[in-house]
């Protein structure tokens, strides 16, 4: 076979086929292609450590990361208020946090599942990623990745043998064991019992390929699940999932951190809603203004949408006489008295609902407090929060995930005039 070469700027470069695209001194003057004859590329920083990242649709990824899930475990506390869903354990399953590591374990017979509260939410045309560390130690089965009970993508190790796959409607689909991985990672050199850094990338559009990678002096590909033009269903039924770690029947899975999100773009498909109401205070008694809930199901399917407050307005009608101050409190997931009679904000387009027939009883996480003064000598009194400070409002807890509630109370804390408190909320829901 004749030598193959390319001429660029009057220089002749030998063509090297069947290469992964990495660079070394002997190949700096060569044109490199992979086994399919496609041009391989390699970009690096001055240290030679950073290689080019290409998205699912062939684009070079240079956009900002939009974080949807960020987890670390630097304190010995499994935080179910902000970070993690409630532990799921059975049999001898346990979940612990120590030495900056989350450990899900089942020494002999049982299961342990740790799952993030926030979800990675797909946005059309963007590359989605899930980065995480994981180790798998034992003779049982362990999972780590972006998935829930029904859908997602995972790295699985059973008794020391790795595989990758996807969940479609709760069924493991397209499972590929390490002997059949098609990437350029050196599988034989990987110690699955040590903490490794993994990445899962997908672009969805219903059927885009899924890329599984591992860090080994740069990103190396474990396997690419080829689905484009190969199946007549979508790869998953709902491309919105948490980060999850799971151990079964003699396995311990550990992680130190996880991050998942999108490359580029703004908040996902946004729908905007508004609500206004009022309550009249009686002396200094605590009044429950409204009780919001983000549904657990939407259109008969599990709800995975986040409702995030973007603006709120508190206003007190000027009384006939007297002055005072009203304290407004927002409690997340509080205990209430009474059975809520919910009204949908919008049955077709929103996952939110509200009730006005319940009262705050106790507990919950106090996430917001504000004070509004009133006086008979002033036409009206009011307080404003929000505008474009969406991220700030989210950071202080003014958002609801699925099955979460927000109870809003008002109370005279200075003065006892029976004033009317009016409130207006504007929020967005990420679909």
pLDDT value, residue 360: 98
Contact 349, 270 (CB under 8 A): no
Confidence of residue 386 (pLDDT cuts 50, 70, 90): very low
The Cα 201–Cα 153 span in angstroms is 9
Smallest CA-to-CA distance from 394 within 342, 430, 431, 345 is with: 430
Contact 323, 374 (CB under 8 A): yes
pLDDT value, residue 20: 46
Domains annotated on the chain, with CATH: 65-263 (2.60.120.200), 270-430 (2.60.120)
Contact 128, 204 (CB under 8 A): yes
pLDDT at 419 over 70: yes
pLDDT at 324 over 70: yes
pLDDT at 36 over 70: no
Strand order in the sheet with 5-8: 5-8, 11-16, 31-32
The Cα 299–Cα 355 span in angstroms is 20
pLDDT value, residue 352: 97
Q: Which residues pair with 206 in a beta bridge?
A: none
pLDDT value, residue 318: 85
Taking CA atoms, 275 is separated from 268, 339, 390, in Å, by 22, 21, 17
Contact 357, 338 (CB under 8 A): yes
pLDDT at 53 over 70: no
pLDDT at 366 over 50: yes
How much is the mean pLDDT over the chain?
85
pLDDT value, residue 47: 41
Q: Which of 227-231, 309-313, 321-325 has the highest mean pLDDT?
A: 227-231
pLDDT tens sequence across 72-125? 999 999 999 889 999 999 999 999 999 999 999 999 999 999 999 999 998 888
Confidence of residue 14 (pLDDT cuts 50, 70, 90): low
More confident residue, 231 or 397: 231
Radius of gyration of the chain (CA): 27
pLDDT at 266 over 70: no
Mean pLDDT of the region 250-262: 97
pTM above 0.85, yes or no: no
């Amino acid at each position: 076979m004749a030598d193959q070469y390319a001429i660029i700027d009057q220089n002749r470069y030998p063509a090297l086929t069947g290469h992964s695209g990495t660079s070394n001194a002997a190949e700096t003057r060569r044109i490199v292609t992979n086994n399919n004859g496609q041009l391989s590329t390699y970009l690096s920083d001055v240290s030679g450590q950073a290689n080019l990242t290409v998205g699912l649709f062939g684009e070079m990824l240079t956009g900002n990361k939009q974080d949807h899930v960020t987890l670390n475990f630097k304190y010995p506390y499994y935080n179910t208020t902000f970070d993690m869903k409630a532990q799921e354990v059975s049999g001898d399953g346990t979940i612990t946090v120590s030495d900056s590591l989350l450990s899900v374990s089942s020494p002999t017979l049982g299961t342990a599942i740790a799952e993030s509260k926030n979800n990675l939410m797909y946005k059309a045309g963007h590359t989605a990623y899930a980065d995480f560390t994981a180790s798998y130690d034992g003779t049982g089965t362990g999972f780590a990745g972006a998935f829930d009970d029904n859908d997602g993508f995972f790295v699985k190790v059973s008794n020391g043998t790795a595989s990758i796959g996807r969940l479609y409607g709760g069924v493991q689909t397209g499972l590929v064991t390490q002997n059949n991985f098609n990437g350029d990672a050196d599988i034989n050199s990987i110690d699955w019992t040590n903490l490794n850094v993994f990445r899962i990338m997908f672009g969805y559009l219903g059927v885009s390929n899924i890329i599984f990678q591992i860090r080994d002096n740069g990103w190396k590909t474990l396997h690419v699940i080829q689905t484009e033009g190969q199946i007549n269903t979508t790869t998953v039924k709902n491309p919105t999932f948490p980060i999850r770690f799971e151990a079964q029947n003699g396995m311990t899975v550990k992680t130190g951190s996880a991050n998942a999100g999108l490359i580029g773009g703004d908040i996902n498909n946004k729908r905007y809603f508004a609500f206004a109401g009022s309550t009249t205070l009686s002396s200094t008694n605590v009044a429950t203004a409204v009780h919001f809930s983000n549904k657990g199901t939407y259109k008969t399917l599990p709800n995975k949408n986040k409702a995030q407050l973007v603006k709120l307005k508190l206003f007190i009608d000027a009384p006939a006489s007297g002055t005072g101050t009203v304290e407004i409190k927002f409690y997340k997931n509080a205990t209430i008295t009474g059975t809520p009679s919910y009204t949908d904000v919008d049955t077709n387009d929103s996952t939110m609902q509200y009730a006005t027939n319940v009262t705050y009883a106790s507990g919950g996480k106090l996430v917001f407090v504000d004070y509004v003064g009133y006086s008979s000598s002033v036409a009206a009194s009011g307080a404003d929060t929000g505008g474009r400070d969406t991220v700030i409002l989210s950071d202080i807890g003014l958002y609801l995930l699925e099955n979460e509630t927000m109870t809003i109370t008002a109370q005279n804390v200075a003065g006892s005039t029976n004033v009317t408190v009016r409130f207006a909320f504007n929020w967005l829901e990420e679909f």
